[in-house]
Amino acid sequence: MPSRHRRRLTPLAPVTAAALIGTAVILAGPSPTVRAADAPSAALAAAPAAVPATIPLTFRNNSGRGEQVYVYNLGTELSTGRQGWADANGTFHPWPAGGSVPVPAPDAAIVGPANGGSMTIRLPKFSGRIYFSYGQKLVFKLATGGLVQPAVQNPSDPNRNILFNWSEYTLNDAGLWINSTQVDMVSAPYAVGVKRPDGSVATTGRLKPGGYKGFFDALRNRPGSWSRLVQTRTDGTVLRALAPSHGIEAGALPAGVMDEYINRVWSTYTGSTLTVTPFADRPSVKYHGRVSGDVMNFTDGAGAVVTSFQKPDSDSVFGCYKRLDAPNDQVRGPISRTLCAGFNRSTLLTNPNQPDTSSAGFYRDPVTNHYAREIHAQMADGKAYGFAFDDVGAHESLVHDGDPRQAYVTLDPFD
């Protein structure tokens, strides 16, 4: 079964509006979250729909803040593949056509509960995002390629000074997957949950007491340019910390911040072998990597080269894309996601057999993804989506149930 993971938000279809390049990202296909295609196709085909057309989601506001909260449920209707939004009753509304110059999207905001309150909305069978914002509605526009979503690494993005965040989910006939994600940024704290048929609730995404402040303090005190990932409003409000790849894009983090570690990895595996066993349930499937010049070649058990990787740059490592592209196949993608996890966690030099799934050895090298390191350190259960393939070894903040009775999003205190 394909891995369920949160990818870095990038266009999923060709973008025809050239003016959008570098200013925003477009959701033009299924949401880059846990997708319908991730569920076992045989199970979907063989079994009748056990999951109803909609399920309740209770949205709780325990933030301690006084601003009005706005909630959005945006994504792909899985039965048709159409893009749109759902209202509080779970009714789907397709987006109208966009323009070569992006036009305002219909107002999809649901007025959220005040601090201390809660409300219940309905989730339809979607692959999408639940956005929430404090004090202001978010700005969404429609281009010819689809919905233009916030891209706050761009200082001119209209959502740059709004405090907001989002969760990602897929609800289909195989159940509900819902996450808390930090792949693009760490911002307003929240937790997610799912109620199981026995009445128990699985939750994830909650910070430790003091974890929100602890994360931002740790970044600000980290030597180098890591403190520059933090974005604040002119009134001093902390808005977010950009993920490192977006930080490089925004000029906040040096483009070569991981180069020294990447160079050491390349040097090491010029003279030795990196063994990747990408499938936990298929331990006999192994690939062997050796570096020749700027290329790491992977061979199978018969010695045939199955895929090759150009020496990555820091952005490729943090974003798990470009030179570490991971197609949804059975060879290159699984190897790439293993490399991505090893680079971000800095385990490739301490263990020549990857993936290394024990968190005890993660982020020990001075050159590492300190953003991911710090957010994991502040999570109550230790789980986060600090980068796109943080699910390698099951370290991601994701809950799932095949017969969900209810979902939860809880806005947590900013402490």
In the chain, where the domains are located: 18-251+372-411, 259-368
Tokens of 381: 């259960």
Which pLDDT does position 50 carry in this prediction?
81
What dihedral angle (degrees, nearest 10) is formed by the CA atoms of 51, 189, 150, 345? Answer: -90
Query: Nearest Cα to 162, choosing from 172, 152, 170?
Result: 152
Contacts of 223 (CB under 8 A, 6+ apart): none
What dihedral angle (degrees, nearest 10) is formed by the CA atoms of 121, 126, 129, 132? Answer: -10
**What's the CATH number of domain 259-368, 3.40.50.720, 3.40.1280.10, 3.30.930.10, 3.30.920.50?**
3.30.920.50
Contacts of 152 (CB under 8 A, 6+ apart): 159, 160, 185, 231, 239, 240, 242
Contacts of 330 (CB under 8 A, 6+ apart): none
On whether the pTM is more than 0.75, the answer is: yes
pLDDT along the chain (415 residues), means of 10: 35 26 35 35 45 97 98 97 97 96 97 98 97 98 94 95 98 97 98 97 98 98 96 96 97 97 98 97 97 98 98 98 97 98 98 97 98 98 98 97 98 98
* CA separation, residue 197 to residues 202, 248, 297 (Å): 11, 44, 47
Which pLDDT does position 49 carry in this prediction?
52
What class does CATH assign to 18-251+372-411? mainly beta
Question: How far apart, in whole angstroms, are the C-alpha atoms of residue 258 and residue 20?
Answer: 28
Active site residues: 168, 184
Which pLDDT does position 300 carry in this prediction?
97
Question: How far apart, in whole angstroms, are the C-alpha atoms of residue 6 and residue 319?
Answer: 11
Q: What is the largest CA-CA distance in the chain?
A: 63
